[in-house]
Structure 1
Amino acid sequence: MSKTTPARVLIVTTSTPSYERAGYRTGLWLGELTHFWDVIEKEGHHLTVASVDGGQVPIDPESLSTLILAMGGTKKRYEDASFMSILDDTPTLDSIVDVAWDAVYLTGGHGTMFDFPHNPVLAEILVNTFESDGVVSAVCHGPAGFLGATLSDGSALVSGRKVTGFSWPEEKLAGRNKVVPFRLDEALKEEGAKYSKALRPMAEKVVRDGNLVTGQNPMSAEGVGKAVAKLLARRK
Protein backbone atom coordinates (compact mmCIF):
# COMPACT_ATOMS: atom_id res chain seq x y z
CA MET A 1 0.00 0.00 0.00
CA SER A 2 1.10 3.56 -0.64
CA LYS A 3 2.59 5.42 2.31
CA THR A 4 1.23 8.69 0.95
CA THR A 5 -2.26 10.02 1.47
CA PRO A 6 -4.62 8.29 -0.99
CA ALA A 7 -4.94 10.38 -4.13
CA ARG A 8 -8.14 11.19 -5.98
CA VAL A 9 -7.70 9.76 -9.46
CA LEU A 10 -10.17 10.40 -12.28
CA ILE A 11 -10.43 7.99 -15.20
CA VAL A 12 -12.20 9.40 -18.25
CA THR A 13 -13.82 7.28 -20.96
CA THR A 14 -15.51 7.94 -24.26
CA SER A 15 -19.28 7.83 -24.75
CA THR A 16 -19.08 7.24 -28.51
CA PRO A 17 -20.20 3.73 -29.59
CA SER A 18 -19.51 3.85 -33.35
CA TYR A 19 -17.64 5.57 -36.16
CA GLU A 20 -19.27 8.33 -38.18
CA ARG A 21 -18.16 7.04 -41.60
CA ALA A 22 -18.40 3.28 -41.06
CA GLY A 23 -20.54 0.77 -39.23
CA TYR A 24 -17.75 -0.41 -36.97
CA ARG A 25 -18.59 -0.43 -33.29
CA THR A 26 -16.15 1.28 -30.95
CA GLY A 27 -15.91 2.68 -27.44
CA LEU A 28 -13.56 2.12 -24.53
CA TRP A 29 -10.66 -0.30 -25.04
CA LEU A 30 -11.27 -2.26 -21.85
CA GLY A 31 -7.67 -3.27 -21.12
CA GLU A 32 -6.60 0.35 -21.10
CA LEU A 33 -8.89 0.83 -18.13
CA THR A 34 -8.15 -2.39 -16.27
CA HIS A 35 -4.35 -2.35 -16.60
CA PHE A 36 -4.15 1.20 -15.26
CA TRP A 37 -6.75 0.50 -12.56
CA ASP A 38 -4.88 -2.54 -11.27
CA VAL A 39 -1.68 -0.52 -10.74
CA ILE A 40 -3.30 2.50 -9.09
CA GLU A 41 -5.69 0.49 -6.91
CA LYS A 42 -2.75 -1.52 -5.56
CA GLU A 43 -1.24 1.75 -4.31
CA GLY A 44 -4.37 2.45 -2.28
CA HIS A 45 -5.62 5.45 -4.25
CA HIS A 46 -9.27 6.35 -4.85
CA LEU A 47 -10.45 5.88 -8.44
CA THR A 48 -13.50 7.39 -10.13
CA VAL A 49 -14.64 6.57 -13.66
CA ALA A 50 -16.55 9.25 -15.56
CA SER A 51 -17.58 9.42 -19.20
CA VAL A 52 -18.23 12.31 -21.55
CA ASP A 53 -22.02 11.93 -21.52
CA GLY A 54 -22.43 9.75 -18.43
CA GLY A 55 -24.42 6.54 -18.17
CA GLN A 56 -23.26 3.24 -19.62
CA VAL A 57 -19.82 3.20 -21.20
CA PRO A 58 -19.65 1.58 -24.66
CA ILE A 59 -16.88 -1.01 -24.97
CA ASP A 60 -15.03 -1.70 -28.20
CA PRO A 61 -15.95 -5.30 -29.08
CA GLU A 62 -12.48 -5.99 -30.41
CA SER A 63 -11.07 -5.38 -26.94
CA LEU A 64 -13.21 -8.28 -25.71
CA SER A 65 -11.72 -10.92 -28.01
CA THR A 66 -10.30 -14.01 -26.30
CA LEU A 67 -6.73 -13.11 -27.21
CA ILE A 68 -6.97 -9.50 -26.03
CA LEU A 69 -8.77 -10.38 -22.79
CA ALA A 70 -5.99 -12.81 -21.92
CA MET A 71 -3.49 -9.97 -21.72
CA GLY A 72 -2.60 -8.45 -18.37
CA GLY A 73 -5.45 -9.81 -16.30
CA THR A 74 -8.25 -8.12 -18.24
CA LYS A 75 -10.27 -11.35 -18.41
CA LYS A 76 -10.41 -11.54 -14.62
CA ARG A 77 -11.80 -8.02 -14.45
CA TYR A 78 -14.28 -8.69 -17.26
CA GLU A 79 -15.61 -11.71 -15.38
CA ASP A 80 -16.01 -9.64 -12.21
CA ALA A 81 -19.59 -8.39 -12.24
CA SER A 82 -18.90 -5.93 -9.45
CA PHE A 83 -16.04 -4.31 -11.34
CA MET A 84 -17.88 -4.18 -14.66
CA SER A 85 -20.90 -2.59 -12.97
CA ILE A 86 -18.75 0.54 -12.57
CA LEU A 87 -19.26 1.09 -16.30
CA ASP A 88 -23.04 0.68 -16.15
CA ASP A 89 -23.84 4.16 -14.85
CA THR A 90 -20.94 6.61 -14.87
CA PRO A 91 -21.17 10.29 -13.94
CA THR A 92 -20.88 12.92 -16.66
CA LEU A 93 -17.83 15.12 -16.95
CA ASP A 94 -20.07 18.10 -16.24
CA SER A 95 -21.00 16.66 -12.86
CA ILE A 96 -17.41 16.30 -11.63
CA VAL A 97 -15.73 19.28 -13.32
CA ASP A 98 -15.41 21.19 -10.04
CA VAL A 99 -13.75 18.35 -8.12
CA ALA A 100 -10.05 18.75 -7.33
CA TRP A 101 -8.26 15.73 -8.79
CA ASP A 102 -4.72 14.66 -7.98
CA ALA A 103 -4.47 12.81 -11.28
CA VAL A 104 -6.51 12.42 -14.46
CA TYR A 105 -6.15 9.50 -16.86
CA LEU A 106 -7.69 9.47 -20.33
CA THR A 107 -8.42 5.96 -21.57
CA GLY A 108 -8.34 5.15 -25.25
CA GLY A 109 -10.48 3.39 -27.79
CA HIS A 110 -11.36 4.97 -31.12
CA GLY A 111 -14.47 6.57 -29.65
CA THR A 112 -12.25 9.17 -28.01
CA MET A 113 -11.35 10.53 -31.44
CA PHE A 114 -14.90 11.83 -31.72
CA ASP A 115 -15.82 13.17 -28.27
CA PHE A 116 -12.50 14.01 -26.55
CA PRO A 117 -10.97 16.68 -28.85
CA HIS A 118 -11.92 20.32 -28.23
CA ASN A 119 -14.25 19.27 -25.42
CA PRO A 120 -14.44 22.36 -23.17
CA VAL A 121 -15.40 20.47 -20.01
CA LEU A 122 -12.66 17.88 -20.42
CA ALA A 123 -10.17 20.64 -21.21
CA GLU A 124 -11.15 22.49 -18.03
CA ILE A 125 -10.59 19.36 -15.93
CA LEU A 126 -7.19 18.74 -17.53
CA VAL A 127 -5.99 22.31 -17.22
CA ASN A 128 -7.19 22.72 -13.62
CA THR A 129 -5.42 19.50 -12.65
CA PHE A 130 -2.21 20.30 -14.50
CA GLU A 131 -1.97 23.86 -13.20
CA SER A 132 -2.58 22.63 -9.65
CA ASP A 133 0.52 20.42 -9.92
CA GLY A 134 -1.60 17.33 -10.51
CA VAL A 135 -0.79 14.52 -12.92
CA VAL A 136 -2.34 14.43 -16.39
CA SER A 137 -2.05 11.17 -18.30
CA ALA A 138 -3.47 9.36 -21.31
CA VAL A 139 -2.95 6.24 -23.40
CA CYS A 140 -3.43 5.23 -27.03
CA HIS A 141 -6.17 7.48 -28.50
CA GLY A 142 -6.72 9.15 -25.12
CA PRO A 143 -4.31 12.00 -25.93
CA ALA A 144 -6.99 13.25 -28.34
CA GLY A 145 -8.41 14.86 -25.22
CA PHE A 146 -5.41 17.19 -25.06
CA LEU A 147 -6.43 18.83 -28.33
CA GLY A 148 -7.94 22.22 -27.63
CA ALA A 149 -6.84 22.27 -23.98
CA THR A 150 -5.29 25.70 -23.36
CA LEU A 151 -3.39 26.75 -20.26
CA SER A 152 -4.05 30.05 -18.50
CA ASP A 153 -1.07 31.63 -20.27
CA GLY A 154 -2.74 30.94 -23.62
CA SER A 155 -0.45 28.12 -24.69
CA ALA A 156 -1.63 24.63 -25.64
CA LEU A 157 -1.35 22.02 -22.90
CA VAL A 158 0.99 19.92 -25.03
CA SER A 159 3.00 22.78 -26.55
CA GLY A 160 6.71 22.04 -26.25
CA ARG A 161 6.07 18.84 -24.30
CA LYS A 162 7.07 15.29 -25.14
CA VAL A 163 4.13 12.99 -25.81
CA THR A 164 3.19 9.78 -27.56
CA GLY A 165 -0.10 8.23 -28.65
CA PHE A 166 -1.48 5.75 -31.17
CA SER A 167 0.73 5.99 -34.25
CA TRP A 168 -0.28 6.15 -37.89
CA PRO A 169 1.42 2.80 -38.70
CA GLU A 170 -0.66 1.28 -35.89
CA GLU A 171 -3.80 2.90 -37.31
CA LYS A 172 -3.08 1.27 -40.66
CA LEU A 173 -2.39 -2.05 -38.95
CA ALA A 174 -5.76 -1.80 -37.21
CA GLY A 175 -7.48 -1.07 -40.52
CA ARG A 176 -8.97 2.17 -39.23
CA ASN A 177 -6.84 4.70 -41.10
CA LYS A 178 -9.64 5.45 -43.59
CA VAL A 179 -12.39 5.98 -41.02
CA VAL A 180 -10.74 7.95 -38.20
CA PRO A 181 -11.61 11.67 -38.34
CA PHE A 182 -7.96 12.78 -38.21
CA ARG A 183 -4.38 11.65 -37.58
CA LEU A 184 -3.70 11.83 -33.86
CA ASP A 185 0.06 12.15 -34.23
CA GLU A 186 -0.19 15.06 -36.65
CA ALA A 187 -2.89 16.82 -34.61
CA LEU A 188 -0.70 16.69 -31.50
CA LYS A 189 2.24 18.08 -33.46
CA GLU A 190 0.07 20.92 -34.76
CA GLU A 191 -0.49 22.01 -31.16
CA GLY A 192 3.26 22.06 -30.59
CA ALA A 193 3.75 18.62 -29.03
CA LYS A 194 7.05 16.77 -29.45
CA TYR A 195 5.50 13.49 -30.59
CA SER A 196 7.46 10.25 -30.75
CA LYS A 197 6.61 6.59 -31.30
CA ALA A 198 8.17 3.19 -30.76
CA LEU A 199 10.22 1.75 -33.60
CA ARG A 200 7.91 -1.26 -33.83
CA PRO A 201 4.09 -0.95 -34.01
CA MET A 202 2.29 -2.13 -30.85
CA ALA A 203 5.50 -2.10 -28.80
CA GLU A 204 5.15 -0.59 -25.33
CA LYS A 205 6.16 3.06 -25.09
CA VAL A 206 5.57 5.45 -22.21
CA VAL A 207 6.69 9.08 -22.28
CA ARG A 208 6.85 11.31 -19.20
CA ASP A 209 7.43 15.04 -19.40
CA GLY A 210 7.07 16.48 -15.91
CA ASN A 211 3.54 15.74 -14.71
CA LEU A 212 2.38 14.76 -18.20
CA VAL A 213 2.41 11.02 -18.91
CA THR A 214 1.38 9.35 -22.17
CA GLY A 215 1.38 5.80 -23.52
CA GLN A 216 1.36 4.86 -27.19
CA ASN A 217 -0.98 1.86 -27.36
CA PRO A 218 -2.87 -0.74 -25.29
CA MET A 219 0.43 -2.40 -24.39
CA SER A 220 1.44 0.81 -22.61
CA ALA A 221 -1.47 1.24 -20.18
CA GLU A 222 0.21 -0.58 -17.30
CA GLY A 223 3.37 1.45 -17.83
CA VAL A 224 1.39 4.66 -17.72
CA GLY A 225 -0.15 3.48 -14.45
CA LYS A 226 3.28 2.82 -12.96
CA ALA A 227 4.56 6.23 -14.04
CA VAL A 228 1.51 7.95 -12.56
CA ALA A 229 1.88 5.97 -9.33
CA LYS A 230 5.50 7.13 -8.99
CA LEU A 231 4.48 10.76 -9.46
CA LEU A 232 1.70 10.43 -6.88
CA ALA A 233 4.14 8.88 -4.41
CA ARG A 234 6.20 12.09 -4.54
CA ARG A 235 3.34 14.19 -3.20
CA LYS A 236 3.85 15.71 0.24
Structure 2
Amino acid sequence: MFKSWNVQTWLISVLTLFAMSHSVYATEATQVENNKALGKILVVMTNHSAYPTRTDTTGLWLTELTHFYDVAKAAGYEMDFVSPKGGAVPLDERSLKSIYVDKSAKAHLADPQFMQRLKTTLAPSSVEPARYKAIYYTGGHGTMWDFPKNLELKNISEKIYQQGGVVSAVCHGVGGLLPLQDAQGKALIAGRTVTGFANIEETLSGIKSQVPFSLQDGLIEKGAKYKRAFLPFTSYVISDDRIITGQNPQSSKEIAKAVVARIKSIN
Protein backbone atom coordinates (compact mmCIF):
# COMPACT_ATOMS: atom_id res chain seq x y z
CA MET A 1 0.00 0.00 0.00
CA PHE A 2 2.79 2.40 0.94
CA LYS A 3 4.75 1.70 -2.25
CA SER A 4 1.57 2.01 -4.33
CA TRP A 5 0.80 5.38 -2.71
CA ASN A 6 4.34 6.61 -3.52
CA VAL A 7 4.05 5.59 -7.17
CA GLN A 8 0.62 7.19 -7.37
CA THR A 9 1.93 10.42 -5.83
CA TRP A 10 4.91 10.44 -8.17
CA LEU A 11 2.69 9.97 -11.21
CA ILE A 12 0.36 12.77 -10.10
CA SER A 13 3.34 15.08 -9.52
CA VAL A 14 4.82 14.33 -12.93
CA LEU A 15 1.49 14.84 -14.68
CA THR A 16 0.88 18.08 -12.79
CA LEU A 17 4.31 19.46 -13.68
CA PHE A 18 3.79 18.44 -17.32
CA ALA A 19 0.41 20.16 -17.40
CA MET A 20 1.84 23.31 -15.82
CA SER A 21 4.80 23.47 -18.21
CA HIS A 22 2.51 22.83 -21.19
CA SER A 23 0.18 25.58 -19.96
CA VAL A 24 3.05 28.04 -19.58
CA TYR A 25 4.41 27.12 -23.01
CA ALA A 26 0.97 27.51 -24.56
CA THR A 27 0.49 30.87 -22.86
CA GLU A 28 3.90 32.10 -24.02
CA ALA A 29 3.29 30.81 -27.54
CA THR A 30 -0.10 32.52 -27.65
CA GLN A 31 1.42 35.74 -26.34
CA VAL A 32 4.16 35.66 -28.99
CA GLU A 33 1.58 34.93 -31.67
CA ASN A 34 -0.63 37.78 -30.43
CA ASN A 35 2.35 40.15 -30.39
CA LYS A 36 3.15 39.23 -33.98
CA ALA A 37 -0.48 39.76 -34.91
CA LEU A 38 -0.41 43.32 -33.59
CA GLY A 39 1.93 44.33 -36.40
CA LYS A 40 4.92 46.59 -36.89
CA ILE A 41 5.86 50.24 -36.50
CA LEU A 42 8.56 51.80 -38.68
CA VAL A 43 10.87 54.07 -36.64
CA VAL A 44 12.82 56.71 -38.56
CA MET A 45 16.16 58.14 -37.38
CA THR A 46 18.63 60.67 -38.75
CA ASN A 47 22.08 60.05 -40.26
CA HIS A 48 23.13 63.70 -39.94
CA SER A 49 25.60 64.64 -37.18
CA ALA A 50 27.25 67.99 -38.06
CA TYR A 51 26.24 71.50 -37.02
CA PRO A 52 27.39 74.40 -39.23
CA THR A 53 29.73 75.90 -36.60
CA ARG A 54 29.34 74.05 -33.29
CA THR A 55 32.05 71.58 -32.31
CA ASP A 56 29.69 69.12 -30.62
CA THR A 57 27.63 66.79 -32.78
CA THR A 58 23.94 66.26 -33.28
CA GLY A 59 22.05 63.14 -34.35
CA LEU A 60 19.31 61.08 -32.77
CA TRP A 61 18.03 62.39 -29.45
CA LEU A 62 18.29 59.10 -27.62
CA THR A 63 15.24 59.13 -25.35
CA GLU A 64 12.98 60.09 -28.25
CA LEU A 65 13.70 56.58 -29.46
CA THR A 66 13.99 54.64 -26.20
CA HIS A 67 10.87 56.06 -24.52
CA PHE A 68 8.76 55.35 -27.60
CA TYR A 69 10.37 51.93 -28.07
CA ASP A 70 9.67 50.82 -24.50
CA VAL A 71 5.99 51.81 -24.62
CA ALA A 72 5.35 50.30 -28.06
CA LYS A 73 7.22 47.09 -27.24
CA ALA A 74 5.31 46.66 -23.97
CA ALA A 75 2.09 47.05 -25.95
CA GLY A 76 3.14 44.16 -28.20
CA TYR A 77 4.41 45.93 -31.31
CA GLU A 78 7.56 45.07 -33.23
CA MET A 79 9.67 47.87 -34.68
CA ASP A 80 12.01 48.23 -37.61
CA PHE A 81 14.62 51.01 -37.70
CA VAL A 82 15.22 53.02 -40.87
CA SER A 83 17.28 56.10 -41.72
CA PRO A 84 17.61 58.23 -44.88
CA LYS A 85 20.88 56.56 -45.90
CA GLY A 86 20.58 53.34 -43.92
CA GLY A 87 23.41 52.08 -41.73
CA ALA A 88 24.75 53.89 -38.67
CA VAL A 89 22.76 56.45 -36.72
CA PRO A 90 24.75 59.06 -34.74
CA LEU A 91 23.63 59.96 -31.23
CA ASP A 92 23.27 63.60 -30.27
CA GLU A 93 26.02 64.37 -27.76
CA ARG A 94 23.83 66.50 -25.54
CA SER A 95 21.17 63.78 -25.36
CA LEU A 96 23.73 61.52 -23.67
CA LYS A 97 24.24 63.83 -20.69
CA SER A 98 23.20 62.40 -17.34
CA ILE A 99 20.34 64.87 -16.92
CA TYR A 100 18.64 63.39 -20.01
CA VAL A 101 19.56 59.71 -19.87
CA ASP A 102 17.22 57.80 -17.56
CA LYS A 103 17.51 54.21 -16.33
CA SER A 104 15.83 52.79 -19.41
CA ALA A 105 18.05 54.71 -21.82
CA LYS A 106 21.15 53.56 -19.93
CA ALA A 107 19.98 49.96 -20.24
CA HIS A 108 19.60 50.33 -24.00
CA LEU A 109 23.04 51.92 -24.29
CA ALA A 110 24.48 48.90 -22.49
CA ASP A 111 22.59 46.43 -24.69
CA PRO A 112 24.89 45.25 -27.54
CA GLN A 113 21.99 43.97 -29.64
CA PHE A 114 20.06 47.23 -29.40
CA MET A 115 23.15 49.31 -30.19
CA GLN A 116 23.93 47.06 -33.15
CA ARG A 117 20.50 47.89 -34.54
CA LEU A 118 21.46 51.57 -34.46
CA LYS A 119 24.54 50.76 -36.53
CA THR A 120 22.61 48.75 -39.11
CA THR A 121 19.36 50.61 -39.78
CA LEU A 122 17.45 49.81 -42.94
CA ALA A 123 17.74 51.91 -46.07
CA PRO A 124 14.40 53.27 -47.33
CA SER A 125 14.77 51.26 -50.54
CA SER A 126 14.47 48.02 -48.55
CA VAL A 127 11.25 49.03 -46.76
CA GLU A 128 7.87 47.65 -47.78
CA PRO A 129 5.23 50.12 -46.47
CA ALA A 130 2.45 47.50 -46.49
CA ARG A 131 4.11 45.79 -43.52
CA TYR A 132 3.56 48.73 -41.15
CA LYS A 133 0.63 50.08 -39.20
CA ALA A 134 2.44 53.29 -38.29
CA ILE A 135 5.54 55.32 -38.94
CA TYR A 136 7.26 57.32 -36.20
CA TYR A 137 9.87 60.01 -36.89
CA THR A 138 12.27 60.48 -33.99
CA GLY A 139 13.98 63.82 -33.42
CA GLY A 140 17.34 65.41 -32.84
CA HIS A 141 18.54 68.45 -34.77
CA GLY A 142 20.10 66.28 -37.47
CA THR A 143 16.62 65.50 -38.78
CA MET A 144 16.29 69.10 -39.98
CA TRP A 145 18.84 68.36 -42.70
CA ASP A 146 17.96 64.88 -43.91
CA PHE A 147 14.26 64.23 -43.22
CA PRO A 148 12.40 66.89 -45.26
CA LYS A 149 14.25 66.31 -48.55
CA ASN A 150 14.22 62.51 -48.59
CA LEU A 151 11.78 61.41 -51.31
CA GLU A 152 11.93 57.71 -50.38
CA LEU A 153 10.84 58.38 -46.79
CA LYS A 154 8.16 60.71 -48.15
CA ASN A 155 6.76 57.95 -50.36
CA ILE A 156 6.87 55.41 -47.53
CA SER A 157 4.97 57.70 -45.15
CA GLU A 158 2.37 58.61 -47.73
CA LYS A 159 1.71 54.93 -48.53
CA ILE A 160 1.40 54.02 -44.83
CA TYR A 161 -1.10 56.84 -44.39
CA GLN A 162 -3.04 55.95 -47.55
CA GLN A 163 -3.42 52.36 -46.37
CA GLY A 164 -5.01 53.58 -43.14
CA GLY A 165 -1.91 53.75 -40.96
CA VAL A 166 -0.72 56.33 -38.46
CA VAL A 167 1.88 58.99 -39.28
CA SER A 168 3.61 60.31 -36.17
CA ALA A 169 6.64 62.38 -35.23
CA VAL A 170 8.23 64.06 -32.23
CA CYS A 171 10.27 67.23 -31.74
CA HIS A 172 12.45 68.06 -34.80
CA GLY A 173 11.36 64.80 -36.37
CA VAL A 174 8.09 66.54 -37.20
CA GLY A 175 10.08 68.10 -40.04
CA GLY A 176 9.66 64.75 -41.79
CA LEU A 177 5.96 65.58 -42.23
CA LEU A 178 6.60 68.81 -44.16
CA PRO A 179 6.88 67.26 -47.64
CA LEU A 180 4.03 64.75 -47.24
CA GLN A 181 1.05 65.05 -49.56
CA ASP A 182 -2.40 63.51 -49.70
CA ALA A 183 -3.86 61.69 -52.71
CA GLN A 184 -4.83 65.05 -54.26
CA GLY A 185 -1.32 66.47 -53.96
CA LYS A 186 -2.20 68.78 -51.06
CA ALA A 187 0.11 69.08 -48.05
CA LEU A 188 -0.92 66.30 -45.66
CA ILE A 189 -0.70 68.60 -42.65
CA ALA A 190 -2.62 71.48 -44.26
CA GLY A 191 -5.57 72.33 -42.03
CA ARG A 192 -4.45 69.78 -39.44
CA THR A 193 -3.52 70.60 -35.87
CA VAL A 194 0.09 69.71 -35.12
CA THR A 195 2.94 70.54 -32.79
CA GLY A 196 6.73 70.29 -32.94
CA PHE A 197 9.82 71.90 -31.43
CA ALA A 198 8.83 75.52 -30.78
CA ASN A 199 10.74 78.66 -31.69
CA ILE A 200 11.04 79.58 -28.01
CA GLU A 201 12.55 76.15 -27.29
CA GLU A 202 15.00 76.59 -30.15
CA THR A 203 16.12 79.89 -28.65
CA LEU A 204 16.37 78.52 -25.11
CA SER A 205 18.37 75.51 -26.29
CA GLY A 206 20.93 77.82 -27.91
CA ILE A 207 20.68 76.17 -31.35
CA LYS A 208 18.53 78.72 -33.18
CA SER A 209 21.48 80.07 -35.19
CA GLN A 210 22.49 76.55 -36.30
CA VAL A 211 19.32 75.10 -37.80
CA PRO A 212 18.56 75.46 -41.53
CA PHE A 213 15.00 76.65 -40.89
CA SER A 214 12.40 77.19 -38.17
CA LEU A 215 10.30 74.07 -37.72
CA GLN A 216 7.41 76.00 -36.19
CA ASP A 217 7.36 78.47 -39.08
CA GLY A 218 7.72 75.68 -41.62
CA LEU A 219 4.66 73.87 -40.28
CA ILE A 220 2.60 77.05 -40.40
CA GLU A 221 3.75 77.77 -43.96
CA LYS A 222 2.41 74.36 -44.99
CA GLY A 223 -1.02 75.37 -43.72
CA ALA A 224 -0.92 73.46 -40.43
CA LYS A 225 -2.57 74.77 -37.27
CA TYR A 226 0.44 74.90 -34.99
CA LYS A 227 0.02 74.65 -31.21
CA ARG A 228 2.49 74.32 -28.36
CA ALA A 229 2.49 73.89 -24.61
CA PHE A 230 2.29 77.03 -22.49
CA LEU A 231 5.52 76.07 -20.74
CA PRO A 232 8.57 75.18 -22.88
CA PHE A 233 10.07 71.70 -22.51
CA THR A 234 6.92 70.14 -21.06
CA SER A 235 5.17 67.15 -22.59
CA TYR A 236 2.65 68.11 -25.25
CA VAL A 237 1.07 65.75 -27.78
CA ILE A 238 -1.61 66.41 -30.39
CA SER A 239 -3.63 63.68 -32.08
CA ASP A 240 -5.44 64.85 -35.20
CA ASP A 241 -7.02 61.62 -36.40
CA ARG A 242 -4.13 59.56 -37.84
CA ILE A 243 -1.55 62.35 -37.62
CA ILE A 244 0.07 62.44 -34.17
CA THR A 245 2.81 64.86 -33.16
CA GLY A 246 4.81 65.60 -30.01
CA GLN A 247 6.47 68.91 -29.23
CA ASN A 248 9.78 67.98 -27.61
CA PRO A 249 11.84 65.17 -26.02
CA GLN A 250 9.63 65.31 -22.94
CA SER A 251 6.71 64.18 -25.12
CA SER A 252 8.19 60.84 -26.21
CA LYS A 253 6.32 58.57 -23.82
CA GLU A 254 2.98 60.29 -24.32
CA ILE A 255 3.20 60.19 -28.10
CA ALA A 256 4.00 56.48 -27.92
CA LYS A 257 0.85 55.91 -25.85
CA ALA A 258 -1.19 57.98 -28.30
CA VAL A 259 0.15 56.10 -31.33
CA VAL A 260 -0.51 52.70 -29.74
CA ALA A 261 -4.04 53.74 -28.77
CA ARG A 262 -4.78 55.04 -32.27
CA ILE A 263 -3.50 51.88 -33.97
CA LYS A 264 -5.65 49.75 -31.70
CA SER A 265 -8.71 51.88 -32.45
CA ILE A 266 -8.22 51.29 -36.19
CA ASN A 267 -7.86 47.50 -35.96
Q: Pick the TM interval, shorter chain.
A: over 0.9
Q: Residues of 1 paired with 2:236 and 2:79: CA distance?
A: 24
- Is 1:75 the counterpart of 2:139? The answer is no
Q: Residues of 2 paired with 1:230 and 1:139: CA distance?
A: 16
User: What is the identity percentage for the equivalent residue pairs of Structure 1 and Structure 2?
Assistant: 40
- Which of the numbers 57, 66, 71 marks the counterpart of 1:34? 66
> What do residues 140-198 of structure 1 show as CA deviations (whole Å, max 9, x unaligned)?
00110111211221110111101000001111111000010000000011011111111
Q: Residues of 2 paired with 1:174 and 1:106: CA distance?
A: 21
Q: 2:76 corresponds to which residue?
A: 44
Change (3 A) 1:36 1:98: closer
Q: 1:181 corresponds to which residue?
A: 212
Structure 1 segments of 4 or more deviating over 2 A?
1-5, 20-24, 97-100
Q: Which has the higher helix share?
A: 2
Report deviation, 1:23.
Answer: 3.4
Range that drifts further, 173-182 or 117-126:
117-126
Q: Residues of 2 paired with 1:10 and 1:203: CA distance?
A: 25
Structure-2-length-normalised TM-score: 0.84
Q: Tell me: higher relative CO, structure 1 or 2? Use CA pairs within 8 A at least 6 residues apart.
A: 1
Q: Residues of 2 paired with 1:169 and 1:75: CA distance?
A: 29
Q: Residues of 2 paired with 1:228 and 1:156: CA distance?
A: 21
Alpha carbons 2:39, 2:131 under 8 Å: kept: no
Q: 2:136 corresponds to which residue?
A: 105
Alpha carbons 1:7, 1:103 under 8 Å: kept: no
Aligned residues: 235
Unmatched tracts of structure 2, length 5 or more: 1-30
Report deviation, 1:99.
Answer: 4.4
Report deviation, 1:98.
Answer: 4.8
> What do residues 107-140 of structure 1 show as CA deviations (whole Å, max 9, x unaligned)?
0000000001132111111111111110110000
Q: Residues of 2 paired with 1:124 and 1:20: CA distance?
A: 29
**Residues 53-202 of structure 1 mapped to structure 2, 5 A cutoff:** 53-70=85-102, 73-202=104-233
- Is 1:224 the counterpart of 2:255? The answer is yes
Report deviation, 1:229.
Answer: 0.7
Q: Residues of 2 paired with 1:235 and 1:210: CA distance?
A: 10
Structure-1-length-normalised TM-score: 0.95
Alpha carbons 1:118, 1:147 under 8 Å: kept: no
Alpha carbons 1:27, 1:111 under 8 Å: kept: yes
Alpha carbons 2:130, 2:160 under 8 Å: kept: no
Q: Residues of 2 paired with 1:52 and 1:181: CA distance?
A: 18
What amino acid is aligned across from residue 127 of structure 2 in structure 1?
A: I
Q: Residues of 2 paired with 1:6 and 1:148: CA distance?
A: 29
- Which of the numbers 37, 50, 57 marks the counterpart of 1:18? 50
Alpha carbons 1:55, 1:91 under 8 Å: kept: yes
Partner-residue secondary structure (3-state), 1:28: coil
Alpha carbons 2:237, 2:251 under 8 Å: kept: yes
What is the CA RMSD across the aligned residues, in angstroms?
1.6
